[in-house]
Structure 1
Amino acid sequence: MKITIEKRANKEGDKQNIRLVYWFGSYTDSQGKVKHNRKIEQLGQYLYTNPKTKTEKQHNKETLQLVEAIKAKRITEAASGQHGFTNATKTNASFYPFFAQIMETKKTNESSSNFKLWQACLIQLKRHHPDEKLTFEQITPDWLEGVRRFFETQAKTKSGNLISKGTASSYFNKVRAVVNAAYAKGIINRNPLAQVAGINPGKSERVYLTIEEVRALVKIECRYDVLKRGFLFSCLTGLRWSDINKLDWSEISQFDGVHRITFNQKKTGALQYLDITQQAFNLLGKSEKQGRVFQGLKYSAYMNMELLRWCMAAGIAKHVTFHAGRHTFAVSLLSNGADIYTVSKLLGHSEIKTTQIYADIIDSVRKDAMHRIPDIGL
């Protein structure tokens, strides 16, 4: 942070009001122009523009001495951490640039998913507070509460739906991480998070289909054949929409008598080898040497609506999204005796605890099945 003295002429032009300007670094706006972050402190002092008398000249001299003393005091206060300021090198970082610095540390060769979550969080945060001049001085408990409410009740996905509770929790945790990092580095001397609670992610319902429901979908016509093939392919392979959408014929080969997909997961960036069944291979259509397999597959509102309509036509009343295909694959394998470690590898999970949610579903299904045994009159 830098502090300068600024003189501003009054309307009459006979006097100059004096103020201190606190400079908190700079940033580049969307048009590529450099903008400066600053704060103004009015001192209630003035100088005569053209001092003529001895009294006016003495006034100007004493006033300038006073202002210089105030400036020196403010510099000392800033260095000692008073008023939320710290040393000059640290306070040069305003909030968004500092957020970006922390975000860059999350970019790794092994996984891009966490970095993309940080990017998505920053996009949502700027929708809530679009002013690029946001400084740490503005990061108060009230401001954080506003961000918290925005993530919980207003932030939306590309398709216009509110983000999930889990996503809201993840985004707010990233904001918390940035504020905590600023506190740890001494950029702020009081942590506003001490008064702000996090967002409880809760347990979101995993919608999946039974094998009978999948068979019913096979028999029903879908308006978009590529959507039908893509969704059923997900049910049989566990692939995410993003990986199915970018799947290229060059990634499909034969290995040891079976068809194999070798690809980098879109979400994690990790290389995965996935052997698929013949019926899954049949859903790919006419084999080509290269090019997108599921050409025409799009993430759009009308495709999502058609997926729901198709499911309803098959007698399925669940709120089915494309990701339900992945859930269906996992639950189907576990229900038929596959061990959780194998399922975790097939899904491309980096941690077994991520797959545990499906095991919990199976336990619930088994418990429900036990209570369906009819009364035998005992």
Structure 2
Amino acid sequence: MNANEPVKLRKRKTRTGLYSLYLDTYANGKRTYEYLRLYLVPERTREDKRKNKETLQLAEAIRAKRVIEYHEGRYGFDKGEQGKVLLFDYFEAQARERTGKTRTSWINCIQYLAQYETRKSITFAKISPEWIEGFKDYLGAQKLAQNTKSLYFAKLRACINQAYKDGIITDNPLKRVGSIKHEESKREYLTIEEVQRLAETDCDSEVVKRAFLFSCLTGLRKSDIMQLQWGDIHKEGDYTRITFRQRKTGGQEYLDITHEARELMGEEQGAEELVFAPFPAVSTISAVIKAWTARAGIRKHITFHSARHTFATMMLTLGTDLYTVSKLLGHKDIKTTEIYAKIVDKGKQEAVARIPSILGKEE
């Protein structure tokens, strides 16, 4: 990287031990910082090194784009030109900063934006509350699931909010625009009896069976279970403790597990060895679980994530308080956990049980 370039890629260590990547821009006598929401992890394994390499390549691509924008006089480096930043250019730049399914949803949103607003030259100065409401109505008329509409509209909101934070717009038009309501989806889970039946039923993949039951007993996501290494496992008195970083949120977690959960992990291996391996291809895991649950006589649409729902409902059924369940699941907001409280509502169950017989039969 040329030392004279106005945009430099830098990193800053966070309190969680990750390194946050950001751009340091010096232009027109002023210095600005743009945090990329990209993070480097401590390189403990070959997989960590691979991920860091990909992250750096993405960050460098963003930096290179900012340099081009600077030389073309775009992207808000000139305070007087900020309202002229192109919506689609900025939105696409934001999409490139995302990864996986999140990036896909941003890209899908762009496609609907392009159908609604055919002028690729539209600037943020033209984005009004009425324009946003128009896109909201446009999505509402599409043959999409309610939650998909909510998701795509949330991406536009995220883009505009980020533009406001970056100083590209001085007045946020979203102040007068509501969101598209998210429809609460059904969370399929297993009863304790059904989990016991699964434990007694043969599965086509031994590692999927162990990992799924492990998730039922710990609440860990599939992504966290698949990357769990023996170096993350520690003995703490009578308990076995797992120390790991959530793949989804990046949060550092400490989780004590039961003796049965430890038993499902199998015999200890080297520190960098995966606990649950070899996992079958992600595309086949659902089919394995479908066949397994059918074999156990369970007529529910069960996915691997249902194991996490099972853990949450089981904890609440056993009387664990909502705050503790929230911490066990690694939720940052207890409102996320409250959804499970609707599933397990003992007050409602007790109220229904008190309804007297109307058919003249004794129970």
Q: Normalising to structure 2: TM-score of the pair?
A: 0.63
| Structure 1 CA distance for aligned equivalents of residues 174 and 339 of structure 2 | 34
In the aligned structure 1, how far is the partner of 2:347 from the partner of 2:216? 21
Distance 1:189 1:253 in 2: 51
Which of 253, 272, 283 lines up with 2:234 in the alignment? 253
Equivalent position SS for 2:184: coil
Q: Residue 165 of structure 1: CA displacement? A: 4.5
> Structure 1 residues 297, 128: closer, same or farther in 2, change over 3 A?
farther
- Aligned counterpart for 1:355 among listed residues 337, 344, 351: 337
2:205 corresponds, among 207, 216, 224, to: 224
State yes or no: 1:203 paired with 2:184. Answer: yes
| 2:267 is the alignment partner of 1:280 | no
Q: Does structure 2 retain, via aligned residues, the 8 Å contact 1:180–1:191? A: no
Q: Assess, with a 3 A threshold, how the Cα gap between structure 1 residues 347 and 187 changes in structure 2: closer, same or farther.
A: closer
Distance 1:267 1:299, change over 3 A: farther
Partner of 1:173: 154
Q: Give 1:346 deviation, angstroms.
A: 0.8
Deviation at 1:284, TM superposition (A): 1.1
Counterpart Cα distance in 1 of 2:229 and 2:172: 52
Matched, 1:315 2:322: no
**How far apart are the structure 1 equivalents of 2:220 and 2:352?**
33
- Deviation per CA, 1:275-315: give whole Å up to 9, x if none: 11111111112211231111232563321122112111111
Taking the aligned partners of 1:136 and 1:192, their CA distance within structure 2 comes to 17
Q: Distance in 2 between matches of 1:288 and 1:190?
A: 54
Does the aligned pair in 1 maintain the 2:188–2:300 contact within 8 Å? yes
> How far is the alpha carbon of 1:336 from its aligned partner?
0.8
Deviations 1:19-45 (A, max 9, x none): xxxxxxxxx99xx9x999xxxxxxxxx
Residue 265 of structure 2 aligns to a residue whose secondary structure is coil
Number of residue-to-residue matches in the alignment:
279
Which of residues 313, 328, 351 in structure 2 aligns to 1:346? 328
1:124 matched to 2:124: no
Instruction: Quickly say closer, same or farther: Cα 1:344–1:95, change in 2 above 3 A.
Output: same
- Measured at CA, do residues 197 and 249 of structure 1 come closer, stay the same or move farther in structure 2, by a change above 3 Å? same
Secondary structure at the residue paired with 1:274? Answer: strand
Consecutive unaligned residues in structure 1, runs of 5 or more: 1-27, 37-85, 108-113, 154-163
1:127 Cα deviation after fit: 5.2
Percent identity, aligned pairs only, is 37
Specify the SS of the correspondent of 2:335: helix
Maintained 8 Å contact 2:85/2:168: no
Q: 1:95 aligns with which of 87, 93, 103?
A: 87
Equivalent-residue separation in structure 1 for 2:94 and 2:153 (angstroms) = 14
The aligned counterpart of 2:32 is none
The aligned residue for residue 223 of structure 2 is 242
Give the aligned residue type for 2:122.
Answer: F
Offset at residue 351 of structure 1 (A): 1.9
- Residue in structure 1 matched with residue 274 of structure 2 by the alignment: 292
**Residue 253 of structure 2: SS of its match in structure 1?**
strand
Asked if 1 retains the 8 angstrom alpha-carbon contact of 2:109 and 2:155, the reply is no
C-alpha root-mean-square deviation of aligned residues, in Å? 4.1
What is the CA–CA distance in structure 1 between the aligned matches of 2:241 and 2:294, rounded to whole Å? 33
Q: Which amino acid aligns with 1:136?
A: I
Q: Secondary structure at the match of 1:136?
A: coil
Where does the alignment leave 5 or more consecutive residues of structure 2 unmatched? 1-60, 70-77
> Is the Cα contact below 8 Å between 1:249 and 1:292 reproduced in 2?
yes
Deviations 1:162-187 (A, max 9, x none): xx744642441230243466589675
Change (3 A) 1:97 1:213: same
Distance 1:181 1:347 in 2: 29
Given the alignment, which residue of 196, 199, 207 partners 1:215?
A: 196
Q: Which residue of 2 aligns with 1:134?
A: 120
**One-letter amino acid of the structure 1 residue matched with residue 184 of structure 2:** K
Question: How has the CA–CA distance of structure 1 residues 144 and 166 changed in structure 2, closer, same or farther, with 3 Å as cutoff?
Answer: closer
The answer on whether the counterparts of 2:201 and 2:296 sit within 8 Å (CA) in structure 1 is yes
